[in-house]
Copies of this chain bind each other. A is one copy, B any other.
Amino acid sequence: MEKKKGLIALSGGMDSTTLLYHAIIDLGYDMKAIAFDYGQNHKKELGFAKLQCEELGVPFEIIKLDFLNKISNSSLTSGADEIPEGHYAKDNMKSTVVPFRNGILLSVLTAYAEANDIGSIFLGNHAGDHAVYPDCRKSFIDAFKSAACEGTYNRVKLMAPFINMSKSDICELGFELDVPYELTWSCYRGEESPCGKCGTCVERTEAFLDNDEIDPLYELQDWIKAVTYYESLYEWLVD
């Protein structure tokens, strides 16, 4: 019997990479991956996405969305110096919002899937994503799922199996699936090592700590710095 076909939005980060492994190993899909170049400050994560696909023998394509850079004022597309530090829940993190980004990415995935007879599209959104990004919440995912069904005569189904999981749960699953996290990138800055202080670094540190693991992207010294920074934020949050 032919395998079910799936298409994933692969960012090169932990969540979508773990989802790719989950879709192939646990769910038995024949996967294809798309990464989006929307004028991010750095392309480092796209390189990691490509490497993962080469490891897995998964076809990989980059789709350029130049227009997103023009219509958004996000710090994610306006230079690394603008990236705020701290926890996602903090107000200044709003500058990292690319408006309705998931709506656009999912629409393109849906179109690509329909044009290529692929029945499922995968998005690695999780429960912790929603604080400042309205298009990451479960209510948005559910609404878009209906739109994708209605807009394709039910030929394309949106799968977001991590939507009720935390990043720590995803990390746990990833260790079970032997996901090579040394080939993933989360930091909003694209420097040699992760900065350990931007919203996505803090979130990633938390996920590894919750699983009693060391993030393989760090030298030990830098990992201790990242953990110390994370703990200082946690104190700030419980104050």
Count how many chain A residues have C-beta atoms less than 8 Å from C-beta atoms of the other chain. 43
Judge whether A144 is part of the interface by a CB distance below 8 angstroms.
yes
- Cβ-defined contact, B111 with A134, below 8 A: no
Are B103 and A115 in contact, CB atoms less than 8 angstroms apart? no
Q: Is A66 among interface residues, defined by CB-CB distance under 8 A? A: yes
Instruction: Point out the residues of chain B lying under 8 angstroms from A54, CB to CB.
Output: none
Are A71 and B103 in contact (CB-based, < 8 A)? Answer: no
Asked whether any CB of chain B lies closer than 8 Å to the CB of A146, the reply is: yes
Complex interface: chain B residues within 8 A of A71 (CB): 63, 108, 111-112, 115-116
Main secondary structure of the interface of A (DSSP, over half): helix
CB of A137 within 8 A of chain B? yes
Number of copies: 2
Closest Cβ neighbor of A149 among chain B residues:
B143
- Is A203 part of the binding interface, using a Cβ–Cβ cutoff of 8 Å? no
Looking across the interface, which residue of chain B has its beta carbon closest to that of A101? B111
Smallest CB gap from A140: residue in B: B150
Q: Can you offer 15 A-B residue contacts whose CB atoms are under 8 A?
A: A63-B70, A64-B67, A71-B111, A72-B111, A99-B152, A100-B110, A100-B111, A100-B114, A100-B156, A103-B110, A104-B108, A134-B153, A135-B152, A143-B150, A144-B151
Query: What are the nearest 6 A-B pairs in CB distance?
Result: A135-B151, A99-B114, A143-B147, A143-B146, A100-B111, A140-B150
